[in-house]
Every structure is written in C-alpha cells, then in structure tokens.
C-alpha cells in the first residue's frame, strides 16, 4: 500500500437545480472554466419539465440584452460576455444574436374592420403589472425628440397613428438573442463537455450536514424520492425557488406573449418598441403597453402585462389564457397593418421571477454561507434574466472554482442581504 498522498484536486459533484437560462448558462460556465476537469468533476442539471429545458420564462421571454439594463454591476459583466459568446460560438446563426434599434412609441390604435372590438382589447391590458424593463434608463438615455416622426426604416407601425416616438439609448447599447435558442445552445455546449441533464427531476430539498452540502433530494411526478450526492448545489429554480428554500423572497407574476409570423413578402425591420397604445376614439381611456420585438428570423414577439395567477406546482402546469393572447394581438394589430395581416403562431404564458424586499430589487446571486459550504443561489432575475445570465453564470463558476467572485462587485446581491438565514 502506498502512503503517498494524491495530488489530484478533490472531485467536485455539482448539482444545478433548474434548467432555465440561469441554470443552463451556469452549466456552460462551470464546464468551460479552466479548472474544470471532465475526468474528475461531475455536473448535473436537474430540470422539473419532462420535455426539455427553457420551458419557463427563459424560453418565452423577449430576449433584449441592453447596456442600460439593471442592476448595472451585473450588466457590466453580462453585456461583454454576450458579445464574447456570440463571437465564439456564432451566436448570430445559432441564437439570433444581433444589435437592434429600440424606441418608445405612443399613439392611438385604430378600430380597423378586421379587428374584433379593439377598444376593449386595449382596455384589457390597462390595470395590470408592467414588466418595468425601462426602469434602468437614465433621462439622458431617452432622446427627448418627442415628435410624430418615425425613423425611415420603421415602416411597420402606422405613422398616422403615432403621437410620439423616442429612440432609447445609443447605437450599440441594445442587442437581442432568441432566448430559447440561447438557453438550449448553452446547455448543448455544456453537454459537449460532459454535463448531464436529468429531465422530469423535481428537486425537493438541498441537503447538508453540519458544514457542507451533501446532495439533492428529487422526485418525478410518478417515481419516489431519490438522492443525488453533491459537493456543490446551485439553486436557480426561478419563480419556484421558494418551494425549495422558503426564505428566498422571490414573488411571481404570470405574463402572456404571442409570436406573429408576418406575410412572406413583408420584411419587419429590427426594432424593439415599448408602446403606449390608447384605444380608438369612443372606446374608453385605458392604455395598453405591449412590448414588441422584431426578431432576426422575421417573426415578431409581443408580450403583455403581468397578472396575479398563482404559480403551478411545476412548469408543465402553466395555463395559457386564450383571451389574454387575443387581446395582445388586437393591441398591436391596431397600430400595424403588417402585424394585423400576420399569423399568430404561438400563444404562451410564463412566470416572471420578481424580488421586492425593502429597497432591494434582486437578483439574488452568491453563496448561502449561513446554510452550508457549497450552497449557492442565483434567482430573482426579474425582467432582465436573459441579459444578465452570462454575468451570473460567470461569477458562480468563479465561486465554485476560485472560491470568490473576481469579475464584479456583487455584495448588494448576496443572499445574506435578503434573509438572515441565508
């Protein structure tokens, strides 16, 4: 028997709970970290859905990536990482990465003969929750040009219905990805390095002894509880995070969205519009504010406001309300004949993870030191999780492989700021 001590680094068994953009991008960064050893380390993503990853907000979001997003300390890492990932892996082809124009549009919808009671459809969006994407913009970011004039290449919104148009942020400050394709690409690239995915695996608890994480208990909808040993566990279950750790103050709101395929001969120029649409004369005074995203494959994504529907047990139980999707279509159709003539190819809903804790707005990213060594949380990314996924994942990989965050100062996002037990 040899008495020699092995010089090999200790084996890391890392379990990531949640296959949304945060979990999949974290799997990518961990498996691409210079200290990752595919012959020694094991990384497993547990995802509750039986059909695949990105079944929640990460596959159904708009996909905006902006330098003016928030919180700035995470955006400052995330935006350049998006640029780097797109260059490295041909993101333009693979996940629709491109720079995009962005503007704020205000005007009145028209009650075209082809629309069914557009006035009440606009009113439908009136008193619900806004996603608050533009909250991070400084006044100086929004050009105060307030006039009717639309940019020359924004031909798919009616100029005659426009009251104001203001470009938001500068050239090169706003980009976009297709969130489902970005998330699934991150996972595929991680899997090419040996990361494993368990679908239909609903984590129930992260277990630890006096000091360290020991593993994760999970079950499927039909099978009994199983235990997967772990040295590190990363909790990124988005809106479902409190079902595993109730002290994490993540709340949720359900948001509907649709995807419109324009007629084949219609080209939709690259604009993302934050709208305020008043109903046609005589249809009341409630305003709707759908967000409209032209995408590189010429489809158009539109999302409405949030509602108070309660979170189902797992992502497969999210209900889609047809009337909410129809209202979103009527709203954008009332300002664009190009969109009105298009076909709605997707009607969907998902839950936004929101953090509101005193003055703290999230996300919550870092070690849960008061729980156990090796326990990390990355959740509550509100309306900027697509933008902030690379920064979040990069700092988690630093924590796991280097023991501290080196690329950003994220003290304000630390779990301990959000609950005394974390």
Instruction: Give the interface with ligand FAD as residue ranges (CB under 6 A).
Output: 17-23, 46-49, 55-58, 61-64, 201-203, 236-240, 244, 255, 257, 303, 315, 350, 352-353, 379, 381-387
For ligand FAD, the closer CB: 43 or 203: 203
Nearest to 397 by CA among 20, 8, 36: 36
Asked if 238 contacts 67 with a C-beta cutoff of 8 angstroms, the reply is no
Nearest to 81 by CA among 392, 398, 408, 390: 390
Q: Cβ of residue 400: shortest distance to ligand FAD, in angstroms? A: 18
In 369-419, where do the E strands start and end? 375-379
For ligand FAD, the closer CB: 244 or 399: 244
Q: Cβ of residue 241: shortest distance to ligand FAD, in angstroms? A: 7
Task: Say which DSSP state 331 is in.
Answer: H
Q: Cβ of residue 177: shortest distance to ligand FAD, in angstroms? A: 9
For ligand FAD, the closer CB: 115 or 315: 315
For ligand FAD, the closer CB: 168 or 315: 315
In 192-313, where do the E strands start and end? 196-199, 202-208, 213-219, 226-229, 232-235, 250-261, 271-278, 291-294, 300-307
For ligand FAD, the closer CB: 112 or 323: 323
In 236-381, where do the E strands start and end? 250-261, 271-278, 291-294, 300-307, 343-355, 364-367, 375-379
For ligand FAD, the closer CB: 150 or 245: 245
For ligand FAD, the closer CB: 187 or 352: 352
Which residue bears the tokens 């948001």? 255
Q: Cβ of residue 76: shortest distance to ligand FAD, in angstroms? A: 15
Q: How far apart are CA 29 and CA 390, in angstroms?
A: 8
Q: Cβ of residue 149: shortest distance to ligand FAD, in angstroms? A: 26
Q: Cβ of residue 328: shortest distance to ligand FAD, in angstroms? A: 10
Q: How far apart are CA 291 and CA 328, in angstroms?
A: 10
Asked if 279 contacts 117 with a C-beta cutoff of 8 angstroms, the reply is no
Task: Say which DSSP state 300 is in.
Answer: E
Q: Cβ of residue 253: shortest distance to ligand FAD, in angstroms? A: 8
Residues of 281-302 as b/e, b for ≥16 C-beta within 10 angstroms?
eebeebbbbbbbbbbbeebbbb
Q: Which two tokens stand for residue 306?
A: 């949030």
Q: How far apart are CA 179 and CA 333, in angstroms?
A: 24
For ligand FAD, the closer CB: 280 or 385: 385
Q: Cβ of residue 147: shortest distance to ligand FAD, in angstroms? A: 27
């Amino acid at each position: 028997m040899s008495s020699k001590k092995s010089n090999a680094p200790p084996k890391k068994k890392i379990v990531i709970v949640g296959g949304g953009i945060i979990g999949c991008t974290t799997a990518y960064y961990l498996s691409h970290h210079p200290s990752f050893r595919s012959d020694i380390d094991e990384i497993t993503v547990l995802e509750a859905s039986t059909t695949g990853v990105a079944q929640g907000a990460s596959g159904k979001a708009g996909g905006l990536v902006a330098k003016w997003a928030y919180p700035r300390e995470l955006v400052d890492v995330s935006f350049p990482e998006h640029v780097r990932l797109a260059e490295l892996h041909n993101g333009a082809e693979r996940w629709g990465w491109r720079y995009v124009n962005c503007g704020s549009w205000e005007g009145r919808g028209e009650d075209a003969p082809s629309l069914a009671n557009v006035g009440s459809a606009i009113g439908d969006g009136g008193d619900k929750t806004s996603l608050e994407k533009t909250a991070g913009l400084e006044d100086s970011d929004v050009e105060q040009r307030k006039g009717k004039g639309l940019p020359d290449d924004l031909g798919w919104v009616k100029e005659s219905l426009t009251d104001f148009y203001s470009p938001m942020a500068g050239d090169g400050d706003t980009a976009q990805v297709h969130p489902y394709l970005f998330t699934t690409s991150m996972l595929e690239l991680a899997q090419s390095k040996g990361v494993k995915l368990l679908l239909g695996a609903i984590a129930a608890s992260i277990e630890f002894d006096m000091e360290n994480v020991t593993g994760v208990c999970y079950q499927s909808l039909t099978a009994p509880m199983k235990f997967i040993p772990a040295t590190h566990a990363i909790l990124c279950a988005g809106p479902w995070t409190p079902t595993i750790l109730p002290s994490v103050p993540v709340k949720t709101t359900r948001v509907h969205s649709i995807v419109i395929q324009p007629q084949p001969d219609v080209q939709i120029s690259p604009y993302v519009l934050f709208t305020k649409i008043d109903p046609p004369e005589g249809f009341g005074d409630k305003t709707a504010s759908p967000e409209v995203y032209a995408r590189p494959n010429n489809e158009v994504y539109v999302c409405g406001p949030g509602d108070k529907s309660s979170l189902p047990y797992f992502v497969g139980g999210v209900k889609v309300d047809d009337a909410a999707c129809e209202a979103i279509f009527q709203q954008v159709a009332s300002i664009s004949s190009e969109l009105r003539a298009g076909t709605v190819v997707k009607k969907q809903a998902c839950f936004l993870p929101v953090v509101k804790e005193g003055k703290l707005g999230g996300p919550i990213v870092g070690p849960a030191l008061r729980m156990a060594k090796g326990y990390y949380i990355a959740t509550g990314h509100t309306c900027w999780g697509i933008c902030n996924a690379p920064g979040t994942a990069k700092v988690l990989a630093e924590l796991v492989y280097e023991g501290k965050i080196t690329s950003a100062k994220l003290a304000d996002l630390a779990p301990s700021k959000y609950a005394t037990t974390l």
